[in-house]
Amino acid sequence: MDRQEFSPLAPIDFGIDAEAPVGLRAKNKAEKLQRIRKAARALFVKRGYDDTTMRDIAKRADVGFGTLFTYASDKRDMLFLIFNDELDNVVADSFARAVKERLFSISSLPFSAVSMSFSHRSRNCRASCCAK
């Protein structure tokens, strides 16, 4: 898969969509992905990674078993999908709090830090959520 390239002038992508899904199909797909993420996270926390199966996730998310593979190619990708969502939230919250508390300003960061993208899409993610 191709890595998402970014330029130094590209905005930082925290994984938050600027626009909501427009059509019914896109809305249903986004809702289904949210149910899958929620189900996978709950099962990984409750049972642990090893004791959770993709079938368990599909059943809890109320989707077909094959549908899961539209969003993640295997259980490992499912875990990374959830982990990267959490990481994106932590980074976004930390930066917002640091700017609010005036610990630093964006302009004071080194150039390389400003040009980084904290979205998992820039980390050569293999999950289907990042595939183009």
| Domains and their CATH numbers in the chain | 24-122 (1.10.357.10)
**Model confidence pLDDT, tens digit, residues 97-121:** 887 777 655 555 554 444 444 444 5
**Model confidence pLDDT, tens digit, residues 45-93:** 999 999 999 999 999 999 999 999 999 999 999 999 888 888 888 888 8
No. of helices (H) and no. of strands (E), the chain: 5, 0
Cβ proximity of 122 and 6 under 8 Å: yes
* pTM of the full structure: 0.58
